[in-house]
Chain A
């Protein structure tokens, strides 16, 4: 039957139908829709499987590896930088192999649209020596998910599916089987310490095994040919779909021959060379790094990224490919108009977001001189309130605060350091560096912005939730108790909306880090108003208004509070009634008491 599925939904359907009964992961754009789709399928078809978010990608990878050791068909799904977090177990799982089968879904984000890097996960498959599949459409994402698991099971090797934003977040009418939901999990662990607890000597032997597997897979990895022109274009993934459309649009059926690899690693380089040598001109087109290209032995007649025919950064979209085709003389030079960019509208925290109130209070107490280490989540947008100076990777707000504090101490720099992190990111990787801060007496303030959800990626649940993804009872992990348990002496909790008391609390925390030379933690809670419950339970005045007579047009509210519902018009501030949720938090920001609320 046909369903209008996104690439991510299609991957989930494929994995579950192929018999995956253990799925773990951590939310991250553009991968986040895979898990919820599997959860829905489990609910709908009563599947005998464990599909649930983990606390971070490293844990997810290890949990899924163990499940595969227990002979369960397993999978993990996360974004490309999540794979970086999972690298340690990932490399090792390649060596030990996966008795039950294990598919690693890594979602890349060339552009990047919503990531720190535009790295190519396929290179990490190459690095670990495991096969990687590169789907061109959601339909292929579905069928590759099934094939990847079969291949993984057969060779007992993890198999990667590399998807990109344009596959994960594209939709099409996908033809699906809706089979395989009744397959039962049959766990059994056959002990083998030479393999599963291998010492370095045995690791060498496992490496030898891995090399044998990859050689065999190389031989079954055959590319598919489309069209029969003289100009050979080698490709895989989303680039194939673009190239196919370009050939059809420009009628290049007699000029181009497309050679498509569904598995861009491992490639039989000798076999490929024979094909290449039959052509005078060869172009390699792949998103995002030159993986197939680097497996080509003789690149004398080969155009691609290495000779800079194709740009080495940015998303490889149709517009870019059309330019490449013009430069190579494959299509005639048409007068292309300049690409129009959309007007820049900077992203902001939502109107009514508790994080904004928290940042506003932090800024009031710590001013412009403090160094603000930020983290990955909605609250990265504390940037707009000038309360974020660094953003690096998950959990780095805490370790950066430690690093700055210790570095400043070396030269007598008296700048205060304030770290901000969300609740989910704290669980993900903020706890470990806080242990270091406690043990080695680092004096900084850690503000945990607790909105009780993974807001940025679609409001997934966090470990402090009282229920799991199925709304069954789960054990809530209390952030305050965790922090106290680590030995932090100053830990207090407050509602982020209580700005006046919050300022007093932050002043006391500041005093503590100065006097005790130890870390302090302040947990500022407020439910995410992007959730239905958050919005419904939020304080709501009848009206928030600006008194035109009192407003001086100083724009302090717009600059320091930065709510998108405050707009500047004709020299005065107005409240945008389309977006305002009448929370009244902006009242605190006006130095002239010009913003008021009606009860």
Chain B
């Protein structure tokens, strides 16, 4: 599976990629990821490519990804450019983001919210696989709550 995650510096997109990697590794699958986050801390784009169960390099050219998770509407068009013809886009809308800040106090919980939306669109990892990793991360209760809010 080829997955692209696009986020904004400080939003926790890299943590999201690590969570997904841990889920895959718990299932004995190979995981490769690459991230570009040079000036990202300053509100710039964070770009993460992940390959699960395939590849030597983690790099994904445009038009090749099975999934694109985008954590800001600004980059939705860019995210679409990575998808292959059957690829699926999972986007965090500005509205979702505001609601999460209102309810959970920090936009970072959007990562768990969007993780659920991603899991529902594929069949390699299950909700239980995700929960078994989420219960061991920081602020796990709130993250699991945000995860459950991601159910459509």
Contacts and interface: CB of A to CB of B under 8 A. Distances in A.
Nearest to B42: A347
B148 interface: no
A172 B55 CA distance: 11
B59 A345 contact: no
Interface stretch (B31-39, B122-130, B138-146): B31-39
Contact of B77 (A172, A340, A456, A579): A340
Interface string A339-374: 111110101111000000000000000000000000
B56 A347 contact: no
What is the interface residue range for chain B against chain A?
35 or more
Contact of B61 (A169, A319, A347, A578): A319
Contacts of B58: 170-172
Given A113-B38, A342-B75, A347-B43, A337 B63 contact: yes
Nearest to A249: B64
A29 interface: yes
A113 B22 CA distance: 27
Contact of A340 (B36, B44, B81): B81
Nearest to A455: B41
A88 interface: no
Contacts of B34: 166, 169-171
Contacts of A172: 30-33, 58
Contacts of B78: 340-343
A340 B30 contact: no
Contacts of A343: 74-75, 77-78
A426 B22 CA distance: 41
For chain B, what secondary structure do more than half of its interface residues adopt (helix, strand, loop), or is it mixed?
Answer: mixed
Given A170-B32, A170-B33, A339 B62 contact: yes
A29 B42 CA distance: 14
A227 to B, nearest CB: 13
Nearest to A351: B43
B134 interface: no
B37 A169 contact: yes
Contacts of B75: 342-343
Interface residues of A, number: 45
User: Which of A30, A342, A579 has the most CB atoms of chain B within a 10 A radius of its CB?
Assistant: A342
A599 B30 CA distance: 52
Interface in B8-25: 17-18, 21-22, 25
A332 to B, nearest CB: 16
A500 to B, nearest CB: 27
A113 B45 CA distance: 11
A530 interface: yes
A317 interface: yes
B46 to A, nearest CB: 11
A124 interface: no
B21 A4 contact: yes
B97 interface: yes
A564 interface: yes
A137 interface: yes
A171 B59 contact: no
A375 interface: no
A350 B81 contact: no
B53 to A, nearest CB: 11
Interface stretch (A16-24, A192-200, A237-245): A237-245
A136 to B, nearest CB: 7
B107 interface: yes
Contacts of B17: 171
Nearest to B33: A171
A306 to B, nearest CB: 25
Contacts of B45: 342, 345
A318 interface: yes
Contacts of A342: 6, 45, 47, 75, 78
B42 A241 contact: no
B57 interface: yes
Nearest to A380: B39
A4 B25 contact: yes
B35 A348 contact: no
18 contacts: A30-B38, A114-B39, A136-B56, A166-B57, A171-B35, A241-B56, A339-B81, A340-B62, A340-B78, A342-B78, A347-B40, A347-B44, A348-B43, A350-B43, A564-B43, A578-B97, A578-B101, A578-B107
Given A343-B77, A578-B97, 9 more contacts: A4-B22, A113-B36, A170-B57, A172-B33, A317-B61, A342-B47, A348-B42, A348-B43, A578-B107
Interface of A: 2, 4, 29-30, 109, 113-114, 136-137, 165-166, 169-173, 238, 240-242, 244-245, 317-319, 322, 337, 339-343, 345, 347-350, 378, 381, 456, 530, 564, 577-579
